[in-house]
Amino acid sequence: MSAERKIGFIGFGAMARPMAANLRKAGYEVAAYTPSGKGDDQTEMFPSARALAEWCDVLVPCVPNDAALRKSLYGDDGAFAGLARGALVLNTSTVSPDCAEEVAKAGDDRGLAVLDTPMSGSTPEAEAGTLVMLVGGPDEQVERARPILKAVGKAVIHTGGAASAARVKLVVNGIMGGTLAIIAEAVAYGLSSGVDRDVLFDALAQVAVISPHHQRKLKMAKAREFPSQFPTRLMAKDMGLLIDDARAVKSFAPALAVAAQSLCLATKRHADEDYSALIGAMERSVVNTP
């Protein structure tokens, strides 16, 4: 186990809480800061990001977007003001590559070791400790972080320099979101053409072309229940980040752009439900369902 024992989470939502539980099982101390002050019975909550940073050896931001990350790190009450020189920052937030690079540079300017470490996986993987941890940054700092990351994940993949992990995460989520959009359209076609609903969903549950991840999404859609393993608003945000960066690097991504727009169909009414709610939204668009 790492000699750095005290781990502080900024943001303590659906992914951070099970990660914290697995870190405790591995022998680490865990505390957190959230603007709302909400935590759990086992976790000490600090009054500010700076106060948390003054306590911890390793800081783990786990926030929803660029703006939230910048707000938590910068300023007099931000975490960077409280971290000791040389402290390790594992940024698990899914943010734009530009933001990941900016934060890494800002940390370096302050003598901090900042890695972008977004995870691949949803709440079931976070609970089981089987996330895939993507890591961007210098080799020596990746090795320093590896014991901590192995406590929450089944694999640690060093993707390259700063912001490389942020880009790989967008690739992963682009495949997830793009594939889900295709599934939703195909299901809507099947239902619109008169295929029996149960027959259609039961068939899709058996075929090899549907990944285990998307099998879970189809199971939700069949039940018309979308518990939030990955909220629609966050998937829509990630698809937007991908399209923005694809434009910036002049990468041709028309299918991903259409998928990003398709998610808008679900975001307005199902922002906090799982992103598989797009399948339900597409079903309602072609069939008279509740």
Q: Which residues are catalytic?
A: 169
Burial group, residue 197, by CB count within 10 angstroms (0-12, 13-18, 19+): middle
Distance CA 199, CA 90 (A): 45
Per-residue b/e over 5-38, b at no fewer than 16 CB within 10 Å?
eebbbbbbebbbbbbbbbbeeeebebbbbbeeee
Separation of CA 102 from chain center = 19
| Lookup: tokens for 215 | 């099998």
Of the CA atoms within 13 Å of residue 268, those in its CB half-sphere come to 5
CA-nearest of 216, 183, 222, 186 to 201 is 222
Question: Residue 167: left if φ>0, alpha if ψ -120 to 50, beta else—which one?
Answer: alpha
What is residue 160's three-state secondary structure? strand
Q: What is the DSSP letter of 241?
A: H
The H or E element that residue 201 is part of is: helix 197-204
